[in-house]
Structure 1
Amino acid sequence: MNAVIDSGVGKTTLTVTSDQVSQAGAFDPTALRSVVPAELAGVLTEVVRIVAAGGTVTIGSMPEELTTTSAADLLGISRPTLMKLVREGQIVAHKVGTHTRLNTADVLAYLDRLRERQRVALQELRDFEDAEGLDY
């Protein structure tokens, strides 16, 4: 691989050349699925698709549990707002000693539900604009 690999403490950066980006367009995801597990193949296929389109990809791992601060950061909300969602039962949390922890899967599921509600609301707005003949 002719990519530039820069390894630092706890972080590795892989930079691909423009030739490698153009080669990504010829990528065959079916062949990859025959070599690696399907879930990993899906992730790698998405990475190649984004790189082929000229995008940037950051891959990292997430712990199974999140602190309230890291969960709030992931959701793009304040910690007090997160705690309100926990009290209202919109996101499940549990105590570890005196500290509140959230399962990463629960936080990501909430984020998916939130995004779906936003998509529905946007579509309803578009439908309303179409019905009213509004054209911007």
Structure 2
Amino acid sequence: MVTLRETSKQWVKLVPGHAVLTTQEAADLLDTSRPTLIKLMNEGALLSYRVGNGRKILFLDLQDCKSKLEKERMDALDELNELDRRGEKHSKNENVTY
């Protein structure tokens, strides 16, 4: 993995698609904790394989998992927005007495 610094003072990591990552590297790239990453692996949401006592993750598998998680988050947000929109319709149509 190669790390470069941009002029905007942000770090950018360049990772070849065929890279093999440790659990900590993968957690860092997902911006999550290592225990959360291991939970994803145990649930089958993220593919990994064992090397000795450790686990390794292919970068491409990590990207697939990240895309799926992002889609799930966006679907949940859309659902919440729809529920909120419906709630506003109901509250406008209700007669409120005090």
Normalised TM-score (structure 1): 0.53
Aligned to 1:97: 52
Amino acid in the other structure paired with 1:133: E
**Counterpart amino acid of 1:105?**
L
Q: Deviations over 1:17-64 (max 9, x none)?
A: xxxxxxxxxxxxxxxxxxxxxxxxxxxxxxxxxxxxxx8876542141
Please name the residue that 1:32 is paired with.
none
Query: What does 1:104-115 align with in structure 2 at a 5 Å threshold?
Result: 104-115=59-70
**Correspondence for 2:94:** none
Number of the residue aligned with 2:96: none
**Is the contact between residue 4 and residue 13 of structure 2 (CA under 8 Å) also seen in structure 1?**
no
Compute the RMSD of aligned alpha carbons: 2.7
Aligned match of 2:78: 123
Q: Quick one: structure 1 residues 83 and 124, their matched pair in 2 at CA, closer, same or farther if it must change by over 3 Å?
A: same
Aligned pairs for 1:62-73 (under 5 A) are 62-63=15-16, 64-73=19-28
Residues 131 and 109 from structure 1, CA distance in 2 versus in 1: closer, same or farther, beyond 3 angstroms? same
Instruction: State the distance in 2 between where 1:86 and 1:12 align.
Output: 29
Query: Of 39, 56, 61, which residue of structure 1 is paired with 2:14?
Result: 61
CA distance in 1, matches of 2:4, 2:28: 23
**Tell me, which stretches of 5 or more residues in structure 2 are unaligned?**
92-98
CA distance in 1, matches of 2:83, 2:59: 36
Post-superposition offset of 1:93: 0.4
Residue 60 to residue 121, structure 1, CA distance change in 2 (3 Å) = same
Give the paired residue count.
Answer: 87
d(CA) in 2 for partners of 1:76, 1:59: 13
- TM-score, normalization: structure 2? 0.71
Identity, % of aligned positions: 31
User: What CA distance in whole angstroms lies between the structure 2 residues aligned with 1:117 and 1:11?
Assistant: 29
Unaligned runs of 5+ residues in structure 1 are: 1-9, 16-54
Q: Are 2:3 and 2:12, in contact at CA under 8 Å, matched by a contact in 1?
A: no
